[in-house]
Structures are given as structure tokens and as C-alpha cells.
Amino acid sequence: MAAWLDLALLGDEATLTKAIQDLDGDGQGDALHSLAEAMGLSEMDITAGLIRVLVERVRPLALPATLWSRPIDSSEDPRPQIKSYFAKKGIPATRERMRAAYDLYVRFASERRDNVVKADDLRRCGFRCVHCGLAFCNEQLQDKVITSPFGNRGRDKLDALKPHWNAAEKMRKPTHDHEWPIATYGDNGQANLRVLCHGCNHGKENILALEQVKAWTGLVPRRAFVEPAPLDWTIFYAQLRHSPQCCLTGRTAADTELTVRLIDPEVAAVLGNLETIESRGI
């Protein structure tokens, strides 16, 4: 089935929008099946991903506009406004729903702060980035006065594709990532935090569903065709999200560093031409 290809080759937004709008019920089903097959996903995966993205689009409607716009330091109890808003929408203000709405408002109103990665956080993740497995050696922990069980790395690795080894030292330092992004009111609770290297955190940005929500993730920057270059951060993150274990050994970021290689060296470094492998050494 080539429906996915015909859609992907359309050259402008207006043409693509019209083509999608012109699909009848059978055409939509064929397109969905074709897209899922091309991406190696089930139709249920795509439906779940779509719902996840739409939830973020509808979240601003979960609370009355007066709450989103009122001063952050307001001491007025928001619950009466929430209850009145639900009543206008014809939605029962159950105890659970009121509690969830209040919690959402509190997350929105709370001042966001940077969470410092501490020794306990590093011990829980084995002193590795939980996404790519990069080992946090003493060089990455100098500003934390923490000693790494990996000791000193010494010389940086040579890796033409992994962007971490073609960037400044700070991109290999540990950071806290919010699995539910702060930008969509994820909280700073321990359950929502994990340790990523700065590079993977940068590559993730506000990814929510499937490999990405950015349409351009996976496309090769034009400069990469002019001269060889490491992967874009978002492409690297998306590849490991899609294939989180070494294709040869099955090992994951829990106990080894992961990188990527080209399936066909003569083809560009797009998601369909990458496979995840181990990166030897630390």
C-alpha cells in the first residue's frame, strides 16, 4: 500500500490538507493502515499517540479562562470558579474531578524551578543517562563534587553520528528530565523525574507521543547532504525512543551506552536508515 508515500510526497500544506480532507471513510482507513505499516507501528499505537497529542490541545479548556489569566500570586480559592465552570458545561463536579482540576491549577500556578541532580539520583540510574546510556564520569560531575564509579573517562570517544561526542562537554552532563513536560504542566515530583544527559534532554524537548510531535523530526537537515555531520539531537533521541536496545546484543541504556549506525552507508541518516548499537567503552 502506497497511501503513506503519496501523502508524504505532497509538496505544500494546502495540497496535503485538501488530500486528507478528500479521503472518504475507506480512504482514511487505508491511509492509517499504510502509515502504521511504514512506521512499524500498530494502528492502536497511532490512535493512542493521536489521543495523547489532542489531550494537550484540549487541556486549556479543562479550566475556566479566568483561572489561566489571573495573577499567579492570587490567594483566592479557585474551586468555586472551577465548580461553576463545570456546571455551565453540564459536567458533574465529582470529588475526584474537582481534586484533579485543583491539582492542575496548582501545577500551573507553581513556580517552576530547576531540579539539581544529586548523588542519590545518579545512584538510582547507575550513573548513566537513562535514554542513551552515556556514562557520567568524573569529568561530567566536577561541579557536583560527586565521584563517579566509572572514574575518569580521559579521552572523548570518536563517534561520527552520535551528537554527544561532537558537542561541548555540557551536553554530556546529567540533567533532570520531566517525563511529563513542564511546558504542559508536568510537576517536579520524583515520579516525574529521570536523569538524562543534557544532549538527550535537549533532543527530547517536549516529545509526548510516538517518536515525536514535531513534523520535521526525522528529516535530514540540508547541510548534512553538503558535508558529513553528526545526527540532529531530535533525530538521535527519536531513534533511541523507537529502538531502545542494541540490534545485535539486545542490551539497553540500563547497562551500556547506545549509539547508532547507518544501515546503508550510501543513504542519508534518516530514521529509516538507522539502527541502534552499543558504543564500546565508557
Domain that holds residue 201: 119-279
Residue 192 and residue 82 in one domain: no
pLDDT at 204: 86
The pLDDT score that the predictor gives to residue 279 is 95
Model pLDDT, residue 147: 96
Residue type for position 165: W
Whole-Å CA distances, 259 to 96, 159, 247:
44, 8, 11
Instruction: Tell me: do 66 and 151 sit in the same domain.
Output: no
Q: Are residues 153 and 71 in the same domain?
A: no
For residues 271 and 217, membership in a common domain is answered with yes
Rounded distance, CA 101 to CA 10, Å?
A: 42
Q: Examine the domain organization and report whether 68 and 45 are in the same domain.
A: no
Task: Verify that 188 and 66 share a domain, yes or no.
Answer: no
Do 214 and 251 lie in one domain? The reply is: yes
pLDDT by residue, tens only, the chain of 282 residues: 688 899 989 988 899 999 999 999 999 989 988 988 887 778 787 887 788 778 877 888 999 988 887 776 788 899 999 999 999 999 999 999 999 999 888 877 776 666 789 999 999 999 999 999 999 999 999 988 899 999 999 888 999 999 999 999 999 999 999 887 777 777 777 888 999 999 999 988 756 544 444 444 555 666 666 666 788 888 899 889 889 999 999 999 999 999 999 999 887 787 778 999 999 888
Q: Are 164 and 172 in contact (CB under 8 A)?
A: yes
Residues 211 and 182 reside in one and the same domain: yes
As for how many domains the chain has, the answer is: 3
Any long-range contacts for 246-249 (C-beta under 8 Å, 24+ apart)?
Answer: 246/276, 246/277, 246/278, 247/275, 247/276, 247/277, 248/277, 248/278, 249/278
Q: Are residues 247 and 171 in the same domain?
A: yes
Please indicate, yes or no, whether residues 36 and 136 belong to a single structural domain of this protein.
no
C-alpha cell at 92: 458533574
Residue 114 placed within a domain: no
For residues 263 and 153, membership in a common domain is answered with: yes
